[in-house]
Homo-oligomer: A and B are copies of this chain.
Amino acid sequence: MAAIPYRRLFGPGPCNAYPEALMALQQPLLGHLDPAFIAMTDRVCDGLRMVWQTQNRYTLAMSGTGMSGMEAAFANVVTPGDVVVVGVNGFFAERQVDLAQRMGAEVIRVDFPWGQPIDPEAVATAHPNPTVIAAVHAETSTGVRSDIAALGALKGEALLLVDAVTSLGGIEVAVDAWGVDIAYSGTQKCLGTPPGLAPFTMSERAYQRRNPRPHSFYLDISLMGAYVGATQGPARAYHHTASSVMYAALDATLARLATEGLENVWARHQAAGDRFQAGLQDMGLELFAADGYRLPELTTIKVPEGVDSARVRAFLLSEYDIEIGAGVKDLASTVWRVGLMGANATTASVTLLLGALQDALQRA
């Protein structure tokens, strides 16, 4: 049996989890209909309302990773033949296109260069009457933030569907104030919790216009809603065997974030990202994401001319136990992706990363 490595997870996610979340994994298992577990799901749904900044009744965690959240979003609001407009500026927006097509939608894509944000006006006016407008808040493939509030102001009758996988718990996400109708995230990025649940929220407006019988049973919002008590009716209808281990971890994280204060959490991510990005530029490295739209929690760096991207990553892994990410698709060997998320959004992480990168550029 090989030695178990302790990885410093500075890739695009997962990140190292908050200690509270790790400790909570040891909480004894609970059945999925145990009164103590029901109380836990209530706390988790309330905590998620806090981080999503929403009053939405249908705010819960899907029992899968962030990708299951994306699938749940499209499965529950798209019916075959619906028009779905997608602002495409990266890999995860491409996935939104794929998901919408699998649900039978007529997809209208509005493309932007990778590394740039979407233009809300161009997306909002791409079709006179779309059922859904979809976009990615924080593109994990490029490190770019798009203006979801502006898109919300222009959405008209459409439902606004947003990927917040790399933003929730790291930068502001204001579901109600921005007019977001459906949003999903994962636990393993800025929320600093092991992967396995997908925070999800849906406005009343979206719920009323949902697909009443989606292909997916597992992610059907009306069944999940009945399970967590969002839907009126007989209490806690069995739907699936939710993992009390995962809920306990998320419960502990949400309590920690409430104590730290959400705005302080965002400020911590911003400070770490600013410091890191300034340090990289001081080292003479160039950033990939457009200036003014850079995510603090996920930095994209251009691999310098003549440097072997994979070799640097392998050096960091073997010498430092540090994971950073390669670029995605066309950017695979020309961009690195470095995350400072959750428990890793600290000054210590920044200093270690800058030093390790400097070392790698000299020695790898």
Name A residues whose Cβ lies closer than 8 Å to a Cβ of B: 2, 4-7, 9, 11, 13-14, 16-17, 22, 25-32, 34-36, 39, 63-68, 70-71, 75, 95, 98-99, 102-103, 186, 188, 194-196, 213-218, 239-246, 317, 323
**CB <8 Å contact, B5 and A28:** yes
- CA A16 to CA B30, docked complex, whole Å: 9
Contact of A213 among B2, B102, B218, B242 (CB under 8 A): B102
With contacts A7-B31, A71-B218, A194-B244 known, what are 10 further pairs, Cβ within 8 A?
A: A2-B39, A5-B34, A11-B31, A25-B245, A29-B194, A32-B195, A67-B241, A68-B68, A102-B216, A245-B245
Interface CB pairs A-B, < 8 A, 7: A5-B30, A5-B34, A11-B31, A35-B317, A67-B218, A195-B241, A215-B215
Given A63-B65, A196-B246, residue A102 in contact with residue B215 (CB < 8 A): yes
- CA A216 to CA B13, docked complex, whole Å: 23
Assembly of this chain: how many copies? 2
**CB <8 Å contact, A64 and B67:** no
Residues of B within 8 A of A217 (CB): 67, 70-71, 95, 98-99, 102
Residues of B within 8 A of A102 (CB): 213-217
Given A64-B218, A218-B64, residue A7 in contact with residue B26 (CB < 8 A): no
- CA A217 to CA B100, docked complex, whole Å: 10
**CB <8 Å contact, A28 and B14:** no
- CA A27 to CA B16, docked complex, whole Å: 12
Contact of A64 among B6, B64, B98 (CB under 8 A): B64
